[in-house]
Amino acid sequence: MIKLFGIPNCDTVKKARSWLNENSFEYEWHDFKKQGLSTEQIQTWINAIGWEALINKQGTTWRKLDEVSKQSVVDADSAIRLMLANPSIIKRPVLMSGQQVQVGFKPEVYQQLLTR
C-alpha cells in the first residue's frame, strides 16, 4: 500500500502526485493540513529516517520561526511537537510504501522504491 502525505498546493507534492498517476501507481492521499497528523505517524517516519530529515529548514515556515523555537528543536520529541504545531514545517511529500519512507520527490527514487 502506497500512501502519500503532503499539502495539495505544494509544487513538489503536485509533481509527485502527477508522477504516481502517470505511472499508474495507486496510492492513498493524506492532506495533513486538513486531516492532521498524529504523534504516532510522525514517530513512524522518525523511526525510519530520523527527525532531521523531516524538518524543512529551507522553507518559509522555518524562516518565520523565532530563534528560540528554532533552537528548541534538539531531539525527536521536540521535533514532533514542532511538526504537530506547524505541519508546514515537514518536508514534502512524505511517501510510505510498506515500511519504506521517502521524503521529497525524485522520479528515479520513486521508481526504484516502488518497483522492488
Render pLDDT for 7-35 as a digit per residue (tens, 0 to 9). Answer: 999 999 999 999 999 999 999 999 998 99
Cis amide prior to 8 (ω within 30 degrees): no
Is pTM beyond 0.75? Reply is yes
> At residue 3, what are phi and psi to the nearest 5 degrees?
-130, 130
Rounded to 10 degrees, what is the CA torsion of 81, 86, 88, 92? 10
Walk me through the domains of the chain, giving residue ranges and CATH numbers.
2-114 (3.40.30.10)
Residue 96 a catalytic site member: no
E-assigned strands of the chain? Answer: 2-6, 28-31, 94-97, 100-103
Contacts of residue 84, defined as CB under 8 A and 6 or more positions apart, other chains included, come to: 37, 39, 42
Confidence of residue 115 (pLDDT cuts 50, 70, 90): confident
Residue in 10, 53, 103, 114 annotated catalytic: 10
Render pLDDT for 46-85 as a digit per residue (tens, 0 to 9). Answer: 999 999 999 999 999 999 999 999 999 999 999 999 999 9
